Structure 1
Amino acid sequence: MSRRPGRTRLLLAAAAAVSAFATTPIWADAMKPLAYPDTRRGTVVEDHFGEKIADPYRWLENDVRSDKEVAAWVERENAVTRAYLDTLPQRGWFAARIRELIDYERFGLPVKAAGRYFYTRNSGLQNQAQLFVRDGLNGTPRLLLDPNSWAKDGATALDAWEPSDDGRHLLYSVQDGGSDWRVIKVLDVKTGQPLADEVKWAKFTGIAWVGNDGFLYSRFPEPEQGTAFQGRNYDHKVYYHKVGTPQSADQLVLETPDQREMNHTAEVTPDGRYAVITSSTGTDNRQQVRVIDLSRRKTDGWKIRMLVAEPKDDWKLVASTGTNLWFVTNQNAPRYRLVVADMAAAQPQFRQVVAERGDLLERATIIGNQLVLNYLKDAASHAEIVSLDGKKVRTLTLGELGTASGFDGKPGDPETFYTYSSFNQPAAIYRMDIATGKSEPFAKPALKFDPAKYAIEQRFYASKDGTKVPMFVVRNKAASQAGKALPTLLYGYGGFDVSLTPGYSAARMAWLEAGGAFAMANLRGGGEYGKEWHDGGRLANKQNVFDDFIAAGEYLIAQGITPKGGLAVQGGSNGGLLIGAVVNQRPDLFAAANAQVGVMDMLRFDRFTAGRYWVDDYGYPEKEADFRVLRKYSPYHNIRAGVDYPAVLVTTADTDDRVVPGHSFKYTAALQAAKVGDKPHLIRIETRAGHGSGKPTDKVIEESSDILAFLARWSGLQTPAQ
């Protein structure tokens, strides 16, 4: 498995540029409406199952890098937004405080290979984390990779990385400008010098060593000129690259030409015995599973054996022991169980080792001769150790409401590392002796705030249909005890089987320090309670997600946690769709909203890059039944002219090739053109940034301070400097 380090500014924003495009002063008086740049309306009208639907801003789907009209629109919009944001008195305080709160030494989980320990470290304000190695646990750290030297703007990042078993080489992938495309390279660990190897056009890939002289990866064909950042991706294939050879010599391991939409991810078991390839057509956790016995590669080559032919269930590889392959699966177990199959059998059958429980089994690892099981209970982590026959050995003591991750290693290892974090606790890393279960700190951050000042609660509220939905609420203890209503930032996602769990954010801590409250709702559509929770918020059930979020906001006001007129909301990607939809449906409920890199046109989402995968959660726009559902909540198509909207800040990036920025461009243009009140409805378009991962620290600070200042201004949050 590949290791990934922890991971969100504006260059065009000169206030002087505004006068060239606006006809009246911009926010000279805080209550006068903004003058937005003129946006050309096209004449596109299409028939969808008998309904004529206009798409006047279709031209904004064009690539900003190649279309001059779109680029000019971006520049005008950024200029207006920048001029407005620079007037906000809260912005300077947030920028300074977020910079202070993020300026602490941060480590990634160590990975051991042949006595060497590899890990990432950011000294505090570095744009990208560096990769270090130690010879022995207490050896002197030696810098191996410094992504900060790769690009002047800090926007080229180290993505996944993996040392070879003998510790001689490091396999790593490079991400540029936030794009999903990756370049894979190899480093000589002893000299610190990169080899000539370079693999291009890798995407949605794992990187997995086969022995010590080659690796498996997945890639698409090289895209046609001008289509790399918007064209749909088909024909994903798995290749083997032998170190020291050109990419043109790579061996094709798996392709499915009769199923061009399939994606394939290759992993190698920690003991190196088996390669396991999982294949799926969308975002649903339903895969085929193929296995290659690497111990027989010299005689059998890349002989593939189908283990699971029907893609009906989720199969998460754990490890292999001898000829046994271990998986965590939701086959006949919506909240997952642990099974094992003997690959020596002519027809391998899965045998249950740990049965499904009430809590969600997220993952398992084999360390030493024991299993570490990671569970999720009401969106908070707990873990336990069991023997290989499933008998409980001990429960690991973690914090009450937090997130634990890691526990990687191999059968026979005496140790493992894990990280624990919460809303008031940046990630700390611990080393655990697997035999005794004793943990000791490997790296704990020095804090620049007092975590004891903040109370973390978990509450359960009723959604529209009566379903109980969990929500974390974080507030200053004194304010909580006094029953004081605080301007509140409510965050949600609700989709793709993704679980939102407690974690630290310098931006959120700055919001809390400014006197606000933070809430995170675990909406249906996520994975917090397994398959039934996911199914409850997708396809025809997608409205449940919006109802859950609206009910969360109503609850916060009814309980006196936030005052009426003090609720700010935020979500990204699928969560950006969430914000767009709920603002349309309940504009009266929210004071301010931030929709980040959102999916805003639900009738065309599947026509760009990775969008075709999302039909598992959203449905097919070309199928009438699905279209009827999508049409009802699509943010772009349901803006309500004549109704007062909250203040809205849309944020996206020019090189987002996951959710292409055209979604946000079109939605913003429609919002600005509609008569939806005098509060600002703006878009902030980042340059040389993508969907979020790999964003340099400077850009994270700049963007976060812009967003929080905007939300604070309209929710009534007064920063200490005011």
Structure 2
Amino acid sequence: MISKNVVAATTLLAAAVPLAGAHGAPAMTPLPADPYIWLEEASSPRAMAWVKEHNAVTEQRLTADPRYKTLYEEALALGGAKDRIPQPSFLNGAIYNFWQDADHLRGIWRKTTLDSYRTASPAWTTVLDIDALGKAEGKSWVFKDVDCLRPAERLCVVSLSDGGEDAVVVREFDLDTGKFVAGGFNLPRGKHRIEWQDENHLLVASEWTPGDLTPSGYPYIVKRLARGQALADAVEVYRGGKTDGGYGVSPGSVRDGKGRSLFFVVRPLDTFHHETWVLTPRGVERLAIPSKADIVAMVDGRVIVSLDETMTSGGATFRAGSVVALDLDAVLATPGALKPSLVWQPGPRDALNSVRSSKDLLLLSTLDNVRGRALVLRPAANGGWTTTTLDLPDNLAVGFGSADDNSNLSFLNVSGFLTPSSLLIADAAAGKVDTLKTLPAKFDAAGLVVEQRSATSTDGTKIPYFIVHKKDIKRDGTTPTLLSAYGGFQVSRTPSYSPELGKLWLERGGAYVLANIRGGGEFGPAWHEAGLLTKRQIIYDDFASVARDLIATKVTSPRRLGIQGGSNGGLLTGVQMIQQPDLWTAVVIDVPLLDMLRISKIAAGASWQGEYGDVNADPAVRAFWLKTSPYHNLKKGVRYPEPYIFTTSKDDRTGPQHARKFAARMEEMGLPFYFYENTEGGHGSGADLKQAAHTRALTMTYLHKKLVD
């Protein structure tokens, strides 16, 4: 059916005659005509009418399936189960947690004591009820973030989003009174970046006057806002450039257990390169660290920096992927002349996963061939470090949670595909780890096994992947199999326990595959950089190579193989659908990027040019995406899999426009598809538990229809 809202128009590329470049610059191929620009108007009546019409068709088709009701009920029960592990944070001398269940769809922020948290049934006190707040104020509030002034951690700024978008309003909250502060800090809706400087001052990056935003919609000016001061009177601290790339300037700070602090501003140049400026007694000065390096912590006056590129300074060279330390006094005195010291460096199959600090110690989670490790590093008197590896189960994902600034206690999360998540508490100083809570099994894992295998990509590189399946599956290609990956932004995908995946897919006989393709961070910066910009095809080749390995080993077959990815992973599955239509029967494209020629014009797309390149300035990048962009490479008459395309109206990160336009072009060509756009939820599955359960059930119903039937 052709929607009455779809404009009939040719989709042929404009004549591919190279344009002469100015002053001898390389020629730029013209961009194709685009008949669906009107769908980029995110909330226009015309666009929303199109969304409503297509949502109705998809919901009717999928909710009519007899499996949908059961899948929805199971997803809702899992999402709101009261025996989930409440993820804890050390804050204000207590343990805080944000919690959602069937009685609190938008959630409550609550607290208890550490002793009470250790028990099976902690005594919680509600601090802030988001459902009640939204009802009282007539808003669809979603709790986004909270930042509290250290060391007392009494005063906090709470970020609330209307419907789940990235833009937030910010209000000051007093943990002692349990109320918003009358006349306190209060910022209107925007993509703010905030850091406490002291009790009476915030460092804020914001849109101070209309238009104070970069092309990707992020702030580039940092000001110091005093308590009681009008926004117009805030004092400028740092100004980036209006044409800066990346995610906009951000103020930040690190603090050690002795109360010493370092304040700084990060100015992105593109997605991955940035300048770091520190606040010194003389003003803001540039810190002489590489443009792919980050201040991540401070311990005993040592500023901890993670390196995503090689650093040569002070007569020493430190390779990419390492962690180094800088002396705080030297940073404040001479930020342009540094003498780093080595803290940690990776082996050939290692990667840094995350960094935390407690009162006196540095805590690193790392990956060893995609297996989690937890390290405790203690500063030594000679400027070095002593390292202890915590004794934890092998072949699992390991990550530090909240660490206490006032002690050396920290939380650890441990899980695997078939191992229910456990929350541990570590006394890092003593090297002692105790299990606090273990999630009850949420699906029947009897007879399921996990394997780690590798596939050979097109350039001969071995690509590791995990596969979860029934031990006794027939190696005849009949197993319904769901393959997932991310492949971008140096994001590592590791084994984790997913109640929804287990209950709704694995328990019903499906297999699940997680591919650690290039573009991710599983093997450090080089693994990511191998697929940057116009080298990106190797990421897509890696993914297809894993699929072919599954087929060659008769785990599955194209008839029973489906793929799923979200955001950059949605671009991945969109490309795979276009490039390899015969490899899959189901393709799930979640909150995706699909129009890679107009990406800089949609939502926050201009901030990712460090990952994807700039089609408006680089002829090679434009040529690559002209042949690779999913939206532009759909072809009439090709037998593509019928995809499930999901997005949300409130997604101000990737935007719903990509998904809408892709579906509209498929419809124009007479190609079948499912399209569903949740009207809330931001860059995710829903703003509350019922919305999330509905979207998960729709997706799983689609997968069962395509791969099981």
TM-score bracket, shorter-length normalisation: 0.7 to 0.9
The one-letter amino acid of 2:263's match is A
- Shift, 1:486, TM fit: 1.7
- Shift, 1:713, TM fit: 0.5
| Cα separation, 2, equivalents of 1:453 and 1:98 | 23
Deviations 1:325-375 (A, max 9, x none): 222223422222333334335433212232343311233333243322211
The one-letter amino acid of 1:203's match is K
Deviations 1:72-95 (A, max 9, x none): 211221122122112323222211
Q: Would the alpha carbon gap of residues 377 and 316 (structure 1) be closer, same or farther in structure 2, given more than 3 Å must change?
A: farther
Q: Would the alpha carbon gap of residues 177 and 119 (structure 1) be closer, same or farther in structure 2, given more than 3 Å must change?
A: same
| Cα separation, 2, equivalents of 1:142 and 1:244 | 30
Deviations 1:438-493 (A, max 9, x none): 2223443333334455322221111122211111111234548x888420111121
Deviations 1:663-698 (A, max 9, x none): 11111111122255xxx4121111123211773211
For the pair 1:143 / 2:122, whether they are aligned, the reply is: no
The 5 Å alignment of 1:63-142 reads 63-65=41-43, 67-105=44-82, 106-107=84-85, 109-123=87-101, 126-134=104-112, 137-138=115-116, 140-142=123-125
- Shift, 1:54, TM fit: 4.1
| Cα separation, 2, equivalents of 1:573 and 1:609 | 13
Aligned residues: 665
Aligned mate of 2:40, from 62, 76, 81: 62
- Shift, 1:310, TM fit: 5.6
Aligned 8 A contact 1:156 1:694 in 2: no
Aligned 8 A contact 1:496 1:526 in 2: yes
For the pair 1:500 / 2:497, whether they are aligned, the reply is: no
Match of 1:18 in 2: none
The one-letter amino acid of 2:298's match is A
Aligned 8 A contact 1:42 1:58 in 2: no
What is the DSSP-based 3-state SS (H/G/I as helix, E as strand, rest coil) of the residue aligned with 1:128? strand
| Cα separation, 2, equivalents of 1:54 and 1:291 | 45
- Shift, 1:245, TM fit: 4.4
Q: Point out where structure 1 has 5 or more consecutive residues left out of the alignment.
A: 1-21, 23-34, 718-722
Match of 1:220 in 2: 207
Match of 2:167 in 1: 181
Per mean C-alpha deviation after superposition, the further-off stretch among 542-551 and 685-694 is 685-694
Query: Larger RCO: Structure 1 or Structure 2 (Cα < 8 Å, ≥ 6 residues apart)?
Result: 1
Aligned 8 A contact 2:414 2:423 in 1: yes
The 5 Å alignment of 1:656-667 reads 656-667=651-662
The one-letter amino acid of 1:40's match is V
Q: Would the alpha carbon gap of residues 666 and 564 (structure 1) be closer, same or farther in structure 2, given more than 3 Å must change?
A: closer
What is the DSSP-based 3-state SS (H/G/I as helix, E as strand, rest coil) of the residue aligned with 1:401? coil
Match of 1:25 in 2: none
Q: Would the alpha carbon gap of residues 220 and 552 (structure 1) be closer, same or farther in structure 2, given more than 3 Å must change?
A: farther
Aligned 8 A contact 2:354 2:399 in 1: no
Aligned 8 A contact 1:155 1:694 in 2: no
For the pair 1:400 / 2:377, whether they are aligned, the reply is: no
Match of 2:403 in 1: 409
| Cα separation, 2, equivalents of 1:145 and 1:75 | 34
Match of 2:342 in 1: 352
Match of 1:279 in 2: 267
Match of 1:637 in 2: 632
RMSD of aligned C-alpha atoms?
Answer: 2.9
The one-letter amino acid of 1:277's match is V
Deviations 1:162-209 (A, max 9, x none): 33321322222112222111211111112211114311344263x433
The 5 Å alignment of 1:328-343 reads 328-332=306-310, 333-343=319-329
- Shift, 1:147, TM fit: 1.7
- Shift, 1:214, TM fit: 3.5
| Cα separation, 1, equivalents of 2:191 and 2:418 | 34
The 5 Å alignment of 1:378-389 reads 378-389=369-380
For the pair 1:628 / 2:616, whether they are aligned, the reply is: no
| Cα separation, 2, equivalents of 1:71 and 1:674 | 22
Match of 1:709 in 2: 701
Per mean C-alpha deviation after superposition, the further-off stretch among 330-339 and 534-543 is 330-339
The 5 Å alignment of 1:265-304 reads 265-271=250-256, 272-284=260-272, 286-293=273-280, 303-304=283-284
Match of 2:249 in 1: 264
Aligned 8 A contact 1:144 1:192 in 2: yes
What is the DSSP-based 3-state SS (H/G/I as helix, E as strand, rest coil) of the residue aligned with 1:127? strand
- Shift, 1:714, TM fit: 1.0
- Shift, 1:631, TM fit: 0.7
Match of 1:199 in 2: 187
Match of 2:120 in 1: none
The one-letter amino acid of 2:496's match is G
The 5 Å alignment of 1:669-688 reads 669-676=664-671, 680-688=672-680
What is the DSSP-based 3-state SS (H/G/I as helix, E as strand, rest coil) of the residue aligned with 1:636? helix
Match of 1:251 in 2: 235
For the pair 1:609 / 2:603, whether they are aligned, the reply is: yes
| Cα separation, 1, equivalents of 2:706 and 2:64 | 13
| Cα separation, 2, equivalents of 1:682 and 1:38 | 17
TM-score by length of 1: 0.85
Per mean C-alpha deviation after superposition, the further-off stretch among 55-64 and 609-618 is 55-64
What is the DSSP-based 3-state SS (H/G/I as helix, E as strand, rest coil) of the residue aligned with 1:423? coil
For the pair 1:321 / 2:305, whether they are aligned, the reply is: no
TM-score by length of 2: 0.87
What is the DSSP-based 3-state SS (H/G/I as helix, E as strand, rest coil) of the residue aligned with 1:524? coil
Aligned 8 A contact 1:649 1:682 in 2: yes
- Shift, 1:634, TM fit: 0.6
Aligned 8 A contact 2:240 2:249 in 1: no
Aligned 8 A contact 2:31 2:597 in 1: no
Match of 2:158 in 1: 172
Q: Would the alpha carbon gap of residues 81 and 711 (structure 1) be closer, same or farther in structure 2, given more than 3 Å must change?
A: same
